[in-house]
Amino acid sequence: MENGILSDYLPIDSSSLRTDTKIGCDLYLLVETGGNRRFTLYCRGDIIFEDDKKDQLLEGNISKLFIKKEDKQKYFDYLESNFQHIMSDKNISYDEKATIVHSTAINLMKDLYIAPRTGTIERTKTYAYNMVDYIIRDSVAAKSLMKIAVHEYYTYTHSVNVAAVGTLFAQSIGFKENELKSFCSGVLLHDIGKTRISPDILTKKGELTKEEFDKVKEHPRLGVEILKESGVDSINEQIITLQHHENYDGSGYPHGLKKSEIHHSGKVSRIIDVYDALTTDRSYAKEVRPFAALALMKKEMSNCFDKEIFQDFIRFLGPYDPRGKPRKGDVIQE
C-alpha cells in the first residue's frame, strides 16, 4: 500500500491486459476507505499477469487500473508488442480498441519524430500492417476509429489522424490488402522529412516568409531521403511521402506534377492531408468543422484534387460529422 497522489498515476483499461504475459510495469488499484484514497499494488510488472488476476477484476467489475506516470512508455511498449492479440480479443469493446489503436500510434509517432532511425521506421511499418489487418478483419472498427481524433495539431498526431481516416477511405474505394498496408505505412511516415526542418518554422504563429516556406517545401524530398537511408525500399511509401503536396493542376510541390503524373496513392493522400490539417487546431489557424472543411476544399482548393476521388471522399464521410454531431445545413453538393 502506498499513498501517492493522483497526478502521479495514469489510468489504463484493464481489458487491454493479456493473461500469461508480463506487463513490464507495476499495476495499481485505487482504493477509497473512510474518505481516503490510496493506491495499492495489484500486480508487479516483472511477474506473469495470470488468469486469477484478470478474473478478480471481472468479478469486481473493475475496468480501470493505474500505472505510475514514469512507466507510461513501458505500458505503450507492451500494447505495441501485443497489438494483434489485443485487437482480436472479443471481450474488448470497439471504442476501447479504437482508443488503443490511436494512443499506441501516437506514442509510436512521437518516438519516430524524436529519432527517425531504421528501428522506429520498421516499428511504424509493422504497426501499420497490423492496423490494416484489424480494419480488414472487423468492419465495425471503422465507426469507432472515425470518432477518435486529436484536435490539436502536431506532426505526429496529424500523421495518426491521416492514417486512420485515410486507410478507411482507401479501403472504401477498393484498395486491396497489400495496397492498404503500404498506404497506411506511407501515410504514417509521410511527414518524416519535417524532422530535418527547424521546429521554430513548423510551429510559427502567423504567415511564413518566402524563405521559411521554401524550407518547408523541402520536407517531401527530405522524407524520401530518410526512408532510403533507413532501408525503406517500398515504392508506394516513398511515393506518398514525396507526392502528398502535389496538386492535380500542377501547382503543388516539390515537382509540380499534375493529373496522371501523380500516383493514385498520392492523390488520395493529398485529400486526406488537407482535410485533417483544416479540421485540427494549428499554430496559425483555428480548426474548422468537417463539413466546413469540405466546403472550403471544394470552393477554394478544387484545383488541388482529383475530382472523382474528392467526390468519393465526400460520399465516404457521408451524412454525419466524424468529429461531432451534424448541424442543420451541413450539405456538400456534388
pLDDT one-digit tens code per residue, 252-275: 999 999 999 999 999 999 999 999
pLDDT at 320: 44
43 sits in which H/E element: strand 36-43
Whether 188 contacts 159, CB under 8 Å: yes
User: The domain 82-317 is classified under which CATH number: 3.40.50.2000, 2.40.50.100, 3.10.129.10, 1.10.3210.10?
Assistant: 1.10.3210.10
- Whether the pLDDT of residue 164 is over 80: the answer is yes
Identify the sign of the CA torsion 108, 111, 116, 118.
negative
Q: What is the pLDDT of residues 206-222, one digit of tens each?
A: 889 999 999 999 999 99
Q: Which residues contact 60 (CB under 8 A, 6 or more apart)?
A: none
32 sits in which H/E element: strand 27-33
22, 194, 215, 286: the catalytic one is 194
Quick count: other Cβ atoms within 10 Å of Cβ 89? 14
**Model confidence, pTM:** 0.84
Average pLDDT of span 318-325: 50
Let me know if 194 is a catalytic residue: yes
**For cell 527530405, what's the residue?**
222
Domain extent listing, the chain = 1-71, 82-317
Q: Which residues contact 82 (CB under 8 A, 6 or more apart)?
A: 18, 21
Q: What is the pLDDT of residues 34-59, one digit of tens each?
A: 778 889 999 999 999 999 999 999 89
